[in-house]
Amino acid sequence: MPGPPARDTRSLLLRGAGLVAIAVVSGLVWFLIRHDSTPDEPVAQPPAQHTGQFQFTKLAGPEKSDDCVTKSYNKTQDFFQDNPCQSLVRALYTTESGGAKALVSVVVVRMPDSSKAQALKALTEKDGTGNVTDMVKDKTFAGTGTPSVSGKDAAYASKVEGTNTTIVLADFYAKHKDKDLIEKIADDALRLAADLHS
C-alpha cells in the first residue's frame, strides 16, 4: 500500500508567511486609523460678504469706537446718553445688481445686555428717531457721487444677536430707484455683521 502523498512543506510555509504578513499589515493600518494624532485642519469659512444673495465689496472701515453718543443723532443720541454702548463698529460696502450700484452702511453696536440691544433696535426702527451716524453722514467717508444712505429713499434693516444690534442703511448711486431691490440688499447685508467684530 502506498503511503500518504508527501506534503509540499515549502508551499505551506510560503502561504502561512503570506497570511501572517497580510494580518500584520492590516493590523498596522487599523492601528494608524484608530490612533491618528494629527488634528483635523479647520475649514476656513468664506467671508460673509461672499455667502449670500448679493456680493458686497468693502469700501471703508471697519472703524471702531466706544463713544456712541458722538456717533449718533436725535433720540438715538439721547438713548445712548442714558444707555452707554460698549463698542461700535462701522463700515461701508458696495454691491451691484442688474446694473444698479448700491452703497450699504453696516453698523454693529454692542450693548451691556440683550434687553438694551433690543431697545436700540426698536428705537431706530421708528421714523424720526435718528440713528447711529453712518460714515457718509459724518463725512468720515467722502466720494464722488456718494448717495446719502440716511436719506428718505434709503432702505433700513436691523437685527439683534445677543448683546449686538446690527443696523443697515442702503441706497443706490445715480439716484436709481428700485424699492424692492434696495430692501433686499439691506436685508441681505445684515450678515455682514459677522465680519465686523465689535
Cα–Cα distance measured from residue 70 to residue 163, given in angstroms and rounded to the nearest whole number: 20
In the chain, % helix, strand, coil (3-state, to 5) comes to 35, 25, 40
pLDDT of 191 above 80: yes
* Lowest-confidence region among 38-42, 55-59, 123-127: 38-42
Inter-CA distances, 51 with 106, 144, 149, Å: 16, 29, 23
Q: Cell digits for 80?
A: 445712548
* Domain locations along the chain: 50-195
> pTM of the prediction?
0.73
Alpha carbon 143 to chain centroid distance?
26
Cα–Cα distance measured from residue 109 to residue 132, given in angstroms and rounded to the nearest whole number: 9
Read off the pLDDT of residues 137-171 as tens digits, 9 standing for 90 and up.
Answer: 999 998 888 998 988 889 999 999 999 999 999 99
